[in-house]
Copies of this chain bind each other. A is one copy, B any other.
Amino acid sequence: MPKPIPDYSLYVITGESFSKGRSTEDVIRQAILGGATVIQLREKEYCGKELIRVGKLLRDMTREMGVTFIVNDRVDVAFAVDADGVHLGQDDLPIEVARQILGPDKIVGISAGNMDEVLAAQARGADYVGLGPVFATGTKSDAGEAVGLDLVKQVCARATIPVVGIGGIKANNAAQVIEAGAAGVSVITAVVSADDVTEAARQLRHQIDLAKGLKG
**0/1 string, A24-48, CB within 8 A of B gives 1:** 0000000000000000000000011
Contact assessment for A76 and B49 in the assembled complex, using a CB-CB cutoff below 8 Å = no
Contact assessment for A93 and B73 in the assembled complex, using a CB-CB cutoff below 8 Å = no
Contact assessment for B80 and A97 in the assembled complex, using a CB-CB cutoff below 8 Å = yes
* Cβ distance A88 to chain B, nearest Cβ, rounded Å: 8
Does residue A141 face the partner (Cβ distance < 8 Å to B)?
no
Residues of B contacting A135 in the complex (Cβ-Cβ under 8 angstroms): none
Partner pick for A79 among B80, B88, B91, B97, CB 8 A cutoff: B97
Contact assessment for B93 and A52 in the assembled complex, using a CB-CB cutoff below 8 Å = yes
Does residue A145 face the partner (Cβ distance < 8 Å to B)?
no
The total of chain A residues at the interface (CB under 8 A) is: 23
Central interface residue in A48, A49, A52, A92, by most chain B CB within 10 Å? A48
Given A49-B91, A52-B93, 17 more A-B residue pairs with CB atoms under 8 Å apart are A47-B89, A47-B92, A48-B73, A48-B89, A48-B91, A48-B92, A49-B92, A50-B91, A52-B94, A74-B74, A74-B76, A76-B97, A76-B98, A77-B93, A79-B100, A80-B94, A101-B101
Classify the secondary structure of A's interface with B.
Answer: helix
Q: Which 5 residue pairs across A and B have the least CB separation, nearest first?
A: A75-B76, A48-B92, A76-B76, A80-B97, A49-B91
A sample of 19 cross-chain residue pairs with beta-carbon separation below 8 angstroms, ordered by A number, consists of: A47-B91, A47-B92, A48-B73, A48-B88, A48-B89, A48-B91, A48-B92, A49-B90, A50-B91, A52-B93, A52-B97, A74-B74, A74-B76, A76-B76, A76-B93, A76-B97, A77-B93, A79-B100, A79-B101
Residues of B contacting A47 in the complex (Cβ-Cβ under 8 angstroms): 89, 91-92
Cα(A76)–Cα(B96), bound, Å: 11
